Every structure is written in structure tokens, then in C-alpha cells.
Structure 1
């Protein structure tokens, strides 16, 4: 009786943890997609806090499933020498301090999250979570274009009128919208769920439109 009564509680806890991990992954992907800066008002302290929070939570969650994490480390053996080389580059860098800051603020963070993400979710789940994050970034960009055009568009200079969404420059915006296009193209092409397929097609059309309106050859090529 004790075992039977505790089973639903364990299932609920597991469900809550899964929801947390999915939400954390989406928020982290949004951070990597450049959506954090406008949402946090460019506050450097908050951005740094978010950066190291992702690092610590990713590491903790990876340790919670250490067997799966070790399998992922083993399967990705070819990439570790490249990461090691990037870390060792501090030895011959012209600016070792800047190189070390980059390692602590970029390489360590992204590598830890990628290790957790790859070990926790199956490829199909990864694609869906990435689609959610990129979809949110696309909608935020659309909001900024129409609600805050001083941020969402280039209003002066040779790029006047070009869309840039939540990003500082139209080429960056176009590059992320190209990634959004690819992600939703794959989802719309290999999805048996009608609603998801329709949503994917909608975001696919939106990303194409945004690439065109960015007037950036980065996305058009």
C-alpha cells in the first residue's frame, strides 16, 4: 500500500521536473538566440546573472543524470579536442584576459548547456524545444517592429526601413530567422500532428517574410 500510494507522488514530481527542464531549456535557448538583451533592457548585471545561472543549472541537471551525461561525453568524443583547443588558445592569445573572459562567459556556459541538452532530450524533442524558442524570438521581433519601431527597425542611414527585430543589426536578425526557417521547415515536413504542422508552416512563412524585410543578403543567399 505504501509503495502504491507513493507512486503517483513520484510521477507528479517527475512531471514537474520535466516541465521545469523544458522551460529552462527554452529560456536558455532564447538567451543564446539573443532574446535576453532586449528583454532585460541590456542590463549587464542581469545578463551576467542569467549567463551563470544557465551554467550552474545545466551542470546540476547534467549531474542528476550522470550516466546519460557520460554516454553523451563518450559519443561526442570528436568534439572535445576542439573545445580543449579553444580553451588552450588563452596561452597564445594577444589578450589572455579577454580570452579567459570569453572562456568563462561563453565556451564554458554553452558547452555545459549543450552537454546537458544533448544528454537529456532526444533529437525530436530538441527540435521542438528549439522551435519554441525561435518562435518566441520571432514573435518578439514582430512585436518590436510594430510596437517599438525605434528598436525593431533601422530608422536612419543606408539601412533605413530594414527590419532587425530584437537584434542590434539586420544581418544578425536575418541569420536567426534563417535558422528559424530551417527549423520550422523540418518540423512542417516531418510532422504527423496536424496542429503542429500548421503552426510550423505559419512560422515558416513568417520567417521567410522577416528575412525578406530585413533586406539582408545574409539570409537571402
Structure 2
């Protein structure tokens, strides 16, 4: 008998207590809160590299994740086999240490990509879709209530006073972070309201949606507002699509029309729309950054520069990007370019392929299963934000963790 089988038998022989289930759910909510990085920058200041204290926070988080996995090793390993493209992608940043400009940094930051994926695999193997959606919505609700309290009771921390005075940032240091998380919270509340088996819960999830939309508006983030519209409207369209042929035709037609309009705007006239929204037609200088980064990727197209090192090597290739843009560019502001800088074009292609697999699996379940209410809007939002922000496959990243949970669960057997 294998060690994993013995561990599973040992766990099954333990006395079963009701509080164990609540404790497990509580730990899951705690880890989701930690991966959201809420309060981190407000309390400790700076990012992981600028604050040594933040580096000390993650080892206990990783250890707790591994303990949860060891309590259910067989289901997690089975799901790893089914979600093997995600496992390979999550491990690749650590492998990049072999060609990295800073091997130690790539190993450390690569571990921060792998562990959210491991947590996602555990969570996906532990809960059914209905319970998983409710748990995610509950976690997002904690973040929403916490952000409201921070902005109202502690405005010196929860409301920005510089750069964007008056914009709410909640539990984070920047308004766009609050907007991005609350757009997901809107989607989570809608998905939970439409899928919960308990009618009395609908009012609570409805309250979460109202609060999340309010916080998105107070963040003044236009990208988050677009994501919020997707998070609110997509579950409703999916619900309508399941109410009969006429409603399904209208919902599908509306979705296709929206995709066509977005494609047309991107291909023909994004500048006009952006100016109408009060935005810089160059996406606040992003196109200048992208031009310089494309040249940098061309220097090492097959391997990239190693995970998480490009922006920290002051005398490296980033110097020329910052010289060309005339400001201290902190990131690529595009997920796929960011991945290409660390893993090369093949790595970026693999990441985009995994995303497309998740999107395709979500679309296949449009007319059946509760999972589509969360998975399809989520894939749409993450695809949208990945075009203008480096949010996909980030070290200890919230969006990355949510994607890993969703992708892993989509790979599981139906009904599990």
C-alpha cells in the first residue's frame, strides 16, 4: 500500500467532528484573504522586495497550504493529473532559474506562482461547485465589508490622498486594486445568488452585489467598472439563456454583439472610445511601454530573462525600456508580455493556451451546470484585465489564484 493510501486511511479513521468542517472552511477563507494581499502594503509598506517583513508572511501561508493538501493527498493528486497543463505552467517559473538573470530570485518568486496553484487544486478537490462558489463569495464579501470599514472609519488609509485624491482604495494602497477585487465580488455575489440551494441566502448575496458595485464606483476605476458590468450582466445572460429557446437566442445574440463591438473598437478606433471615457488613447502610455518590451522579448525570445527579475535588474534590459519611456515603469501592464519577459514566447504561448482551455471549458457548459455562472464571467473578466494589467500568473497573485481554482475545478469530473 502506498504512503498516500495509508495517509488517506489514517485520515478516514480519525474521529469526525463538526467543527473540523467549519475549521477547514475558515482556513480556506483565511488563505484566500492572504492571497488577496489585503492590508499588506497598508501595514508594512512597499511590495515583497521592498519589505522584508512581507517575505516572512508567505512561508507560513505555504506551510498551511501543504498541510491542507496532505490531509487530502489522493484527490489532489488525481486532480493534478487531470489539470496537468496548469501544473506544468505553474512549475515553469521555478524552472526558469536555470536561465534567469538572478536564479535565487526566480526560485523564490516562482514558488509564489506554484503555491497559489497548489491551493487552487486543493480547494477544487475539496468542494462541490455549489459550495465552492458560496465559499468564494463569502471570502469576497469579507474583503468588501473590510474595504467599506477601512474607507469610512479609517479614511487616512482607505481613501487615497495622493495621485487620485478622494478615490477609495479600501484594504489596498491603490484604487485599481479595490476596483478589480470588487468587480470579482460582484460576479461572485451574482453567481452565489443564482446557484445557492438555500433561498434565504439570496438576500445576503444580493447585498454583496450592491456593496461591491458601490465600492467599484467609489474606486473610480474605469477598467474595474467595465469588469463589474461583465460580472453583473453575464450571470443574468446565462440565466436567461437557460429559460427557453427565445431567451437563449437573445442572450447568445447579445453576447456575440458585445464581442463583435469590442473587437471592432480594438481593431478600428480605440482612441475615440478612450477619449470619450476620459482616458489617454495610448492607454496611459502603455503602448509606448509595450513597444519597448517587444524589443526586449526579441532579445531572448525562447527563454526570457527568468521569472520575476526583469524589472529588478536596474542595469539590465529594463534600463533601455525606462530610458525610452522616460519614467520608472514598474510592470508590463500586459499579462502576456510580462510572462514572455520571464519565460519567453513559448511560456507566454503556454499560458495563453491554458487560459483558452479554461475559457473553452466554460463555454461548453453554457447551458448546463451551476459552474458557468462563476467560470464564464470570470474567464471574461480575467481575459479583459490581462490585456491592460499584469494580473495573470503573478507571484502570490489574487487573480492567478482564482484562475487556478476555476481551471482546476473545470478539469474535475462532473458532479465531483
TM-score, structure 2 as length reference: 0.47
Q: 1:184 aligns with which of 189, 192, 195?
A: 189
Matches of 1:64 and 1:103 in 2, distance apart? 24
What 5-or-longer segments of structure 2 have no aligned partner? Answer: 1-13, 46-50, 227-416
Alignment of 1:103-142 (within 5 A): 103-104=110-111, 106-142=112-148
Matches of 1:179 and 1:94 in 2, distance apart? 35
Compute the RMSD of aligned alpha carbons: 2.1
- Contact 1:145/1:165 (CA < 8 Å) preserved in 2? yes
Aligned to 1:37: 40
Q: 2:203 aligns with which of 198, 201, 209?
A: 198
Aligned to 1:73: 80
Highest relative contact order (Cα 8 Å, sep 6+), 1 or 2?
2
Task: Kindly indicate whether residue 215 of structure 2 is the aligned counterpart of residue 210 of structure 1.
Answer: yes
In terms of fraction of residues, the more helix-rich structure is 1
Q: Against the structure 1 CA distance between its residues 99 and 16, is the aligned structure 2 distance closer, same or farther, given a 3 Å change threshold?
A: same
- Contact 2:160/2:167 (CA < 8 Å) preserved in 1? yes
Report the alpha carbon displacement of residue 47 of structure 1 after superposing the two structures with TM. 4.3
TM-score, structure 1 as length reference: 0.85
Matches of 1:195 and 1:78 in 2, distance apart? 39
Report the alpha carbon displacement of residue 82 of structure 1 after superposing the two structures with TM. 1.1
What 5-or-longer segments of structure 1 have no aligned partner? Answer: 1-8
Aligned to 2:19: 16
- Contact 2:130/2:196 (CA < 8 Å) preserved in 1? no
Matches of 2:158 and 2:72 in 1, distance apart? 41
Q: How many residues align?
A: 208
1:154-187 per-position Cα deviation (integer Å, ceiling 9, x unaligned): 1234x11111101111111100011101111111
- Contact 1:55/1:108 (CA < 8 Å) preserved in 2? no
